[in-house]
Structure 1
């Protein structure tokens, strides 16, 4: 079984936006890909923009990747 990716972008919230976690720690709420990249850079991952679609690094849960609107 493959290990879980360290970064998880959770399902869209009812108010919009998605919670982003790293190794289970909440980094913040993202409303667009630029927000995800900013949160990952704050977590000292400078190449974050290149990793948004890397399944070994990031998982998009409960909705389509790159979709932030409320369900």
Structure 2
């Protein structure tokens, strides 16, 4: 199974692009500058407990 959440490499401004796979398509959630930003994006995307999946490589790349 491919990861459903992708946190990209640091960009020039220091943030990381965060995206999710939804309905077979990659959907960008935004640019995160902290772990808190990633958690907030995932909550907005509908994950009920995003902190539980962040350290799981089956979910996050």
**Same fold at TM > 0.5:** yes
Q: Which runs of 5+ in 1 are unaligned?
A: 60-71
What is the aligned-residue RMSD (CA, Å)?
0.7
- How many aligned residue pairs are there? 57
The answer for the alignment partner of 2:42 in structure 1 is 40
The answer for the alignment partner of 1:21 in structure 2 is 19
SS of the residue 1:8 aligns to: strand
Distance 1:34 1:5 in 2: 20
Distance 2:4 2:28 in 1: 12
TM-score (norm 1): 0.77
Q: Which runs of 5+ in 2 are unaligned?
A: none
Higher strand share: 2
TM-score (norm 2): 0.89
Instruction: Tell me the CA shift for residue 26 of structure 1.
Output: 0.1
Aligned mate of 2:33, from 16, 31, 34: 31
Greater RCO (CA < 8 Å, at least 6 residues apart): 1
